[in-house]
């Protein structure tokens, strides 16, 4: 469950608790945040819900990300930029813990590759956070294989996740080595924006319209809803991607989760790929 829109939903802490309870009952146990989400407010809103019902913490895995500094009323940055320095990463992780009122993050990800990343400095900071018990495991987000390898070469423990953008309308990771690398190294690949920001269903671009038409046909043939098709397409890939869903509507989440029980036929998978790319495979 991705909580980047939590501030937009304007839920009360009680409503957030209710959503978390319902998701846990459905088997959704991993909750994805970042320090910058909701103009730096989402972690605090999540923490307010956990304060109301702290026993929920033991039933879930909490993921957060850091490394991006956004201009905001919450700070004095002159421009948006990256910071993978030890001081910022350490302070960001500790701030996340305080905002969410928890003692340990299950997973801390570096949000974006930083061209000024000092791999030795960053690795030492990440190792220290784990050794101090503030972080259980570490990973990255949006890293290419060579960037992943650089940081991994300096760490004393494995990077366990790379969270990357993957969807029918962003299928490049299937062909540019990102998912191959995750498979080779047995790294979990979390797929963010699995519905291409909604363009899979309401987009007006040529690729969106082709995919929508194909999904309409397959929905009739396979008795599956369009979002189930989009998720089943990702889940069929042998990298065993973990899609990050971001809807606050329980009915939509329940429908998406049902995709776990469906197997997309191979030819249907390639029909969707053809629609997305506008051509058959060679």
Let me know the angle formed at the C-alpha of 217 by 212 and 221, rounded to the nearest 5 degrees.
Answer: 140
Checking if the pLDDT of 248 tops 90, the result is no
177-205 pLDDT, tens digit each: 999 999 999 999 999 999 999 999 999 99
pTM of the model: 0.95
Beta bridge partners of 66: 110
Determine how many CB atoms are found less than 10 A away from the CB of residue 154.
15
Determine how many CB atoms are found less than 10 A away from the CB of residue 66.
23
71-89 pLDDT, tens digit each: 998 889 999 999 999 999 9
Q: What's the CA gap between 279 and 235, in Å, rounded?
A: 22
Residue 139: which of 34, 218, 219 has the closest Cα?
34
Residue 138: which of 120, 150, 122 has the closest Cα?
122
Checking if the pLDDT of 33 tops 90, the result is yes
Q: What's the CA gap between 108 and 132, in Å, rounded?
A: 14
Strand 68-69 and strand 81-82: the pairing is antiparallel
DSSP SS3 for 249? coil
Q: What's the CA gap between 151 and 120, in Å, rounded?
A: 8
112-122 pLDDT, tens digit each: 999 999 999 99
Q: What's the CA gap between 177 and 189, in Å, rounded?
A: 13
User: What's the whole-number mean pLDDT along residues 96-107?
Assistant: 98
Q: What's the CA gap between 178 and 161, in Å, rounded?
A: 12
Domains with residue ranges and CATH for the chain? 6-159 (3.20.20.100)
C-beta of residue 128 within 8 angstroms of C-beta of residue 87: no
Checking if the pLDDT of 247 tops 90, the result is no
Q: Give the residue, 162 or 248, on which the prediction is more confident.
A: 162
C-beta of residue 227 within 8 angstroms of C-beta of residue 258: no
Is the C-alpha dihedral spanning 191, 63, 249, 251 positive or negative? positive
User: What's the whole-number mean pLDDT along residues 22-49?
Assistant: 97
The pLDDT score that the predictor gives to residue 252 is: 86
How much is the mean pLDDT over the chain?
96
Residue 14: which of 40, 48, 56, 59 has the closest Cα?
48
What percent of the chain clears pLDDT 90, i.e. is strictly above it? 94
Q: What's the CA gap between 53 and 48, in Å, rounded?
A: 9
C-alpha distance from residue 145 to each of 6, 18, 43, 82, 93 (Å): 31, 39, 29, 19, 24
Q: Which residues are catalytic?
A: 37
C-beta of residue 196 within 8 angstroms of C-beta of residue 203: yes
């Amino acid at each position: 469950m991705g909580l980047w829109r939590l501030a937009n939903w304007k839920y009360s802490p009680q409503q957030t608790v209710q959503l978390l309870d319902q998701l846990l009952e459905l088997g959704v146990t991993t909750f994805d945040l970042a320090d910058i989400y909701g103009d730096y407010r989402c972690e605090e809103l999540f923490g307010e819900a956990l304060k109301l019902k702290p026993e929920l913490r033991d039933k879930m895995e909490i993921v957060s990300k850091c490394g991006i500094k956004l201009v905001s009323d919450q700070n004095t940055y002159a421009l948006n930029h990256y910071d993978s320095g030890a001081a910022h990463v350490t302070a960001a992780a500790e701030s996340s813990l305080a905002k969410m009122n928890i003692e340990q993050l299950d997973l801390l990800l570096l949000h974006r590759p930083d061209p000024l990343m000092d791999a030795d400095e960053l690795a030492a900071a990440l190792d220290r956070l784990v050794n101090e018990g503030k972080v259980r495991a570490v990973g990255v987000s949006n890293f290419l294989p060579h960037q992943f390898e650089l940081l991994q070469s300096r760490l004393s423990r494995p990077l366990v996740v790379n969270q990357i953008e993957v969807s029918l309308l962003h299928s490049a990771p299937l062909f540019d080595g990102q998912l191959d690398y995750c498979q080779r190294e047995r790294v979990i690949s979390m797929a963010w924006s699995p519905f291409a920001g909604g363009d899979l269903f309401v987009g007006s671009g040529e690729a969106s319209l082709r995919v929508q038409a194909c999904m309409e046909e397959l929905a009739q043939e396979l008795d599956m809803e369009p979002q189930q098709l989009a998720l089943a397409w990702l889940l069929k890939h042998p990298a065993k991607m973990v899609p990050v869903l971001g809807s606050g509507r329980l009915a939509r989440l329940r429908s998406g989760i049902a995709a776990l029980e469906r197997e997309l036929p191979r030819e249907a998978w390639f029909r969707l790929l053809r629609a997305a790319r506008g051509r058959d495979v060679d």
